[in-house]
Amino acid sequence: MLRLFMAFGLLVSIAAALLVAWAHQLPGVMRPDRDAPRSYLITNAGLLDPATGSVQANGHVLVIDGRIERVGTGALPARPDGVELINAGGRVLMPGLIDMHVHVFDETDLAAGLARGVTTVRNMGGFPFHLPLAARIERGEILGPRLLTTGPILNEVGGRNGNLLHEAVEGADEARASVRRQYAAGFRDLKLYSNLSRESFAAIREEAAGLGMTMSGHPVEGTDADPVDFAASLAAGFQTLEHTESIVWHALNDETDPEGVRQLARQIAASGTMIDPTLVVHENLARIVETGGTHITRPAMASYNPVVAGFEQENFEFWSQYPHDDRSRMQAFYVEFTGALHAAGVRLTVGTDSGVMVTPHGVSTVREMEILVDAGLTAPEAIRAATLNGAEALGLDGQIGCLAPGCAADLILVAGDPTQEIAWLYQVDAVMRDGRWLDRDTLAALEAAGHHPSSLRTWWRLGQHLRAIG
């Protein structure tokens, strides 16, 4: 009997191991040839440098081992041995896009982003699998955008807008302990949510400063009994403050008074805080209202995680019955307010909230840039927001989002000039990620992979996360 029991246990263990292995099986296109070249000379390109916002014709870029070695126009440099030659055919070459606010539940989320020219993402709510995944990407084991991540979202026990996936704290001691736990787990950036108490907020700030951790997140509102002034978030030293909608709610109480808008914009500009508007997610909520819910079934949603959609179904039903005029009016105001921020000198980044609230990865990044143009930015300014500004906010200026010697060879080749029309960014013909050249066929395969997120992997990661924050 004992032998039978042991045999049964062994079979269960083997079955579980096989199930885990299957759950982690990725589409073939996401497993790159690690011996493929990472050194290229790209010629006959229109060079779009976001630092100048202009395109130079007849340009070339020399890439050696995944980094830009030389950028120039006119006569070509000598091509070292082992360097592959690519003729850009006069198309526009520029840095890849940085999406500052995504939620990654599955590796295929990354495939969908890379297929659209997003070469760096910041995941805004860490799970245990994110840091190992980021390391595997950097080692060239998995093909995807550079993955940066905050730790698990920090919020107060019993606060409004609480979520099962948040790491809930109560008071200073628990807040400090959570920061230390996230640091020990390997996270170096914290994500703060709206309803932290004054006590917890202060403790997190102090503990993070002592450990050398950065912070990003929503403006912290405090509790109903002890609200926190908006100025406290501006003074907190956030990498970015997230969501125009949250700022308008907290600082303006949703009031649309023009003078109040101008004063707030000047206040934010004076603080030096960078803002990540995430207008596209608010637009998608408005579209749910406008379409009575059919916006949820649009073709771009093919890459949306079905597990997440299941969790959000109640929200979808709520928004589909929301008063149409009110949501559309507020969305228009968020765009207007973002324009006021820009006019006041506030530096903006490009983030989407992709992965949640019917906002799919990849295509939403370009849509966010289009909305920024609607808000009053020029196309070159929107491009700067999606490249240089994001890099600066992340402390990676001079390393990513740039077209200069020493920058990472994260590049995109575009059919037309996006400084004249942002919509050209929907037509990415090729991507270079860490020196690896991805042609149209590869991008098509990545797009297809992005349409098949794994529910099993997602459930597995959710379980890991809940145990970790437990």
Is the pLDDT at 112 greater than 60, yes or no?
yes
| DSSP letter string, 249-315 | HHHHTT---HHHHHHHHHHHHHHT--EE--HHHHHHHHHHHHHTTGGGGSGGGGGS-HHHHHHHHHH
Based on the number of CB atoms within 10 Å of its own CB, is 448 exposed (0-12), middle (13-18) or buried (19 or more)?
A: middle
Range with the lowest mean pLDDT among 209-213, 264-268, 278-282, 314-318? 314-318
Of 27, 139, 46, 133, nearest to 411 by C-alpha is 46
Question: Which stretches does DSSP call E strand in 231-324?
Answer: 241-242, 275-276
Task: Tell me the one-letter amino acid at 298.
Answer: R
Task: Tell me the one-letter amino acid at 172.
Answer: A
**What tokens appear for 202 in the block?**
């202060």
Could you tell me the domains of the chain?
Answer: 97-402 (3.20.20.140)
Other Cβ atoms closer than 10 A to 28: 9
Of 149, 114, 103, nearest to 27 by C-alpha is 114
Rounded mean pLDDT, 242-246:
96
For residue 470, the SS3 value is coil
State pLDDT tens for residues 432-445.
999 999 999 999 99
For residue 415, the SS3 value is coil
Range with the lowest mean pLDDT among 261-275, 279-293, 446-460? 279-293
Other Cβ atoms closer than 10 A to 274: 21
Based on the number of CB atoms within 10 Å of its own CB, is 125 exposed (0-12), middle (13-18) or buried (19 or more)?
A: buried
Is the pLDDT at 19 greater than 80, yes or no?
no
Task: Tell me the one-letter amino acid at 233.
Answer: S
**What tokens appear for 114 in the block?**
């890379």
**What tokens appear for 75 in the block?**
């006569």
Is the pLDDT at 152 greater than 80, yes or no?
yes
State pLDDT tens for residues 392-415.
999 999 999 999 999 999 999 999
Backbone angles phi, psi at 170, to 5 degrees: -140, 100
State the pLDDT at residue 51: 97
